[in-house]
């Protein structure tokens, strides 16, 4: 039996497993109308954002998640100038988007103003000043409402940095066919969409729900995943477009676009992305998707 002294986080990491993390220091805790947010230091992972006792990002490995979420979609589009982010309160997704010199405007929509203000105040280690970039626009609004009200059809890339599809009934509409169809109405015809899609291994049916809906909405999709150490779970991503097939994005072109736009990544490059998207999806042993 492993024993811990002091504060710990006991977090679900799948339907049947739990992840135990030791908190070395608590910097700030706030209660918002939607959730409880904390800025802490976790042993082995450094500074971290925790929402309702779930790890959102840690200093040690957040770059893995955020680069994988953002950079393949940005690389797939030949000239992303206007980008929509739904979610992403700590600003790290915004940071990754703004690495690209082609970007003229990045709109980030988050429902919780307090999370955004908390992140601006405490999480510079993650957002790296992205909230203050003149190209950035932060909109405090429910993502569903924003998409309903938006009249422009001019987003090149849409990035969905959302709570997991199995997080509760409020999350499911953001992964529905109806929502993806509405998003297409505010995207350019050659637009690219990407979403995090939970865990195909631990929450297989929920993952397949997301995949099926994106497959119905778009001509091309690509699936990829990796293990996120601080989450203790595999995280899946799905990228979709009517114009560009992510399976045809070659490593040399990926790297060329990053280089020309002045983008420097820690984790992802063309070769790694090609390998991830060709490997496919991890499912529980014995499961065969129909």
In terms of Cα–Cα distance, which of 168, 174, 166 is closest to 206? Answer: 166
Structure tokens at 78: 């030949």
Asked if residue 35 belongs to a known ligand binding site, the reply is yes
Asked if residue 142 belongs to a known ligand binding site, the reply is yes
Distance CA 64, CA 132 (A): 23
Asked if residue 66 belongs to a known ligand binding site, the reply is yes
* Beta carbons within 10 angstroms of residue 282's beta carbon: 16
- Asked if 161 is an active-site residue, the reply is yes
Asked if residue 169 belongs to a known ligand binding site, the reply is yes
Query: Active-site residue among 161, 164, 255, 269?
Result: 161
Q: Do residues 242 and 272 lie in contact, with contact meaning Cβ atoms separated by under 8 Å?
A: no
* Beta carbons within 10 angstroms of residue 3's beta carbon: 4
Residues forming the annotated binding site?
Answer: 35, 66, 90, 110, 142-143, 169
Which residues are known to be catalytic? 161
Residues forming the annotated binding site for S-methyl-5'-thioadenosine?
Answer: 35, 110, 142-143, 169
Residues forming the annotated binding site for spermidine?
Answer: 66, 90
């Amino acid at each position: 039996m492993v024993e811990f002294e002091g504060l710990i986080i006991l977090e679900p990491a799948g339907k049947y497993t739990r992840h135990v993390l030791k908190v070395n220091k608590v910097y700030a805790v706030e209660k918002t109308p939607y959730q409880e947010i904390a800025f802490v230091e976790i042993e082995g992972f450094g500074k971290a954002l925790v929402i309702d006792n779930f790890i959102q990002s840690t200093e040690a490995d957040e770059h893995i998640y955020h680069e994988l979420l953002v950079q393949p979609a940005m690389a797939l589009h030949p000239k992303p100038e206007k980008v929509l982010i739904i979610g992403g309160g700590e600003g790290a997704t915004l940071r990754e988007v703004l690495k690209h010199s082609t970007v003229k405007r990045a709109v980030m929509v988050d429902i919780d103003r307090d999370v955004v203000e908390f992140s601006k105040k405490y999480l510079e280690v993650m957002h790296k000043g992205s909230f203050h970039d003149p190209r950035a626009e932060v909109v405090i609004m429910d993502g569903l409402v924003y998409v309903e009200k938006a009249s422009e059809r001019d987003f090149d890339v849409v990035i969905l940095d959302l709570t997991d599809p199995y997080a509760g009934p409020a999350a499911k509409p953001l992964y529905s066919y109806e929502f993806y169809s509405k998003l297409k109405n505010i995207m350019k015809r050659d637009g690219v969409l990407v979403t995090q899609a939970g865990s195909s291994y631990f929450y297989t049916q929920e993952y397949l729900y997301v995949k099926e809906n994106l497959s119905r909405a778009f001509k091309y999709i690509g699936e990829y995943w990796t293990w996120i150490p601080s989450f203790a779970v595999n995280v899946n991503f799905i990228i979709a477009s009517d114009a560009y097939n992510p399976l045809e994005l070659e490593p040399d072109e990926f790297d060329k676009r990053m280089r020309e736009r002045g983008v420097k990544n820690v984790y992802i490059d063309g070769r790694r992305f090609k390998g991830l998207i060709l490997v496919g999806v991890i499912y529980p042993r014995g499961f065969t998707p129909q």
